[in-house]
Each structure stands twice: as C-alpha cells, then as structure tokens.
C-alpha cells in the first residue's frame, strides 16, 4: 500500500501547480454548453499523462530526449501551438443562448494533446521525478505506484472540468469568464515566450 500512497502524493504534487494544461482543461469546463461537451479535453489530457507516466516508468522517453534536434523540434512546434491556442481562447466567447463559439471536440483534443506532449519541460519533470521514483519499486509494488500516478491524472482533469462548469454557473453574466479567457490567453502566450527563450538560449 505504501507504493500506492507514494505515487498518489507524488503525482498530486506534480499536477497541482497552475500550468497551461490545467488552465485549458478548466476553461473548457467553463466554456462548453454542458459538462459532457468538455470531456474531450479532459480525456485527452488524462490519456497523454498516462502515456507519459508509462514511458517515464519504463524509461523509453529518455531515449527521445537524448537527441537535441528532436527536443528543438518539440519546442518549436510547442511554441506555434501555444501561440495559436492563446489566440483562439482570446477570441472565444462564453456560451450563451445566442453564441455558439465553444471549441469543437477535435480542436479540444488537438490543443490538449499539444500542451501535454509538446512541452519538453513537462516530459522532463515526469521522467526526472516519477521515472526515477519508480526505480525503487519492482513487480506489484511498481504497478501500484504507476497506477496511483495515473489515477491522480484522471481524477484531477475530470475534477477541473467539473470546477469549470460550476464556475460558469456562478458567473451568469459571463463577465468573469471573459476575464478568465483573457488571463488564460496571456498565460498561454507567456508560456510560449518562455519556451521560445529556451529554444534560442
């Protein structure tokens, strides 16, 4: 049971800080006309985290990060996606009876995929923390550790989606959500600039 608790607390500590992935999933819960329509973003983010955790535990992603050209490519594509995503969120409008500008499922999945996979820093964090922590376990204990890390991701992203939907109901005027969208876009653009500086540095 100790490996499960270890994995749960470790994954929760990693996923809790505000990041582009969290902001985007929350915003979809708030922007979509109903909770069900926001699930593509949450499911995609959770699946991506599951893949990264499995790769980290089994050490396969370390190979990818040994190639500088591949890391630079990930950074470049990540910057472009973040710039486009920031623009889309900045222009989006809260869902009302007469507006239908919420992101469709395919675009949600694309954006969630980009902020989950095309962020080398997130990959490094997963490998450096979860991957190395998993080395101390073998067999059933390693399975429990890995499963608990994955479980946290699924609970967290669906919880964020629900929180966004509740936020929308509390903000009947849509003004707070508009402000949140602008802040989210600025945050996403700031992350793009950060990655760009890392690319040219």
* Sequential pLDDT tens for the chain (201 residues): 888 998 888 888 777 766 778 888 988 888 888 888 999 999 999 999 999 899 888 875 555 556 677 667 767 877 787 788 778 778 776 554 444 457 788 888 988 888 888 766 677 667 767 877 887 788 899 899 999 999 999 999 999 999 988 888 887 676 777 777 787 778 778 877 877 887 776
Burial class (CB in 10 A: 0-12, 13-18, 19+), 67: exposed
Q: Output the pLDDT for position 43.
A: 95
Instruction: Give backbone dihedrals phi and psi of 96, rounded to 5 degrees, phi first.
Output: -130, -175
Q: What's the token pair of residue 125?
A: 């964090």
Domain range summary for the chain, segments of one domain joined by +: 2-11+20-200
User: What element of type H or E holds 35?
Assistant: none
Residues forming beta bridges with residue 99, ordered by sequence position? 96
Pick from 153, 157, 145: nearest CA to 5: 145
Report d(CA 85, CA 112) in Å as an integer.
10
Report d(CA 84, CA 142) in Å as an integer.
39
Report d(CA 16, CA 25) in Å as an integer.
13
Task: Establish how many alpha carbons lie within 13 A of residue 113's alpha carbon, considering only the half-sphere containing its beta carbon.
Answer: 8
Q: pTM value?
A: 0.75
């Amino acid at each position: 049971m100790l490996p499960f608790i270890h994995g749960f607390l470790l994954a929760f500590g990693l996923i809790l800080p505000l990041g582009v992935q969290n902001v985007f999933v929350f915003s979809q819960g708030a922007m979509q006309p109903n909770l069900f329509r926001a699930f593509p973003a949450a499911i995609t983010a959770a699946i991506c985290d599951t893949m990264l955790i499995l790769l980290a535990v089994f050490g396969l992603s370390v190979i990818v990060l040994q190639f500088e050209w591949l890391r630079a490519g990930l950074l470049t594509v990540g910057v472009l996606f973040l710039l486009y995503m920031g623009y889309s969120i900045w222009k989006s409008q809260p869902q009302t009876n007469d507006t239908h500008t919420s992101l469709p499922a395919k675009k949600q999945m694309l954006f969630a995929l980009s902020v989950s996979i095309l962020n080398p820093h997130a990959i490094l964090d997963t490998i450096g923390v979860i991957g190395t922590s998993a080395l101390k376990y073998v067999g059933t204990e390693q399975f429990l550790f890995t499963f608990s890390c994955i479980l946290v991701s699924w609970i967290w992203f669906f919880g964020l989606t629900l929180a966004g939907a509740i936020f929308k109901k509390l903000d009947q005027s849509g003004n707070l959500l508009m402000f949140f969208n602008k802040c989210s876009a600025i945050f996403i653009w700031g992350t793009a600039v950060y990655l760009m500086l890392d690319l040219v540095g």
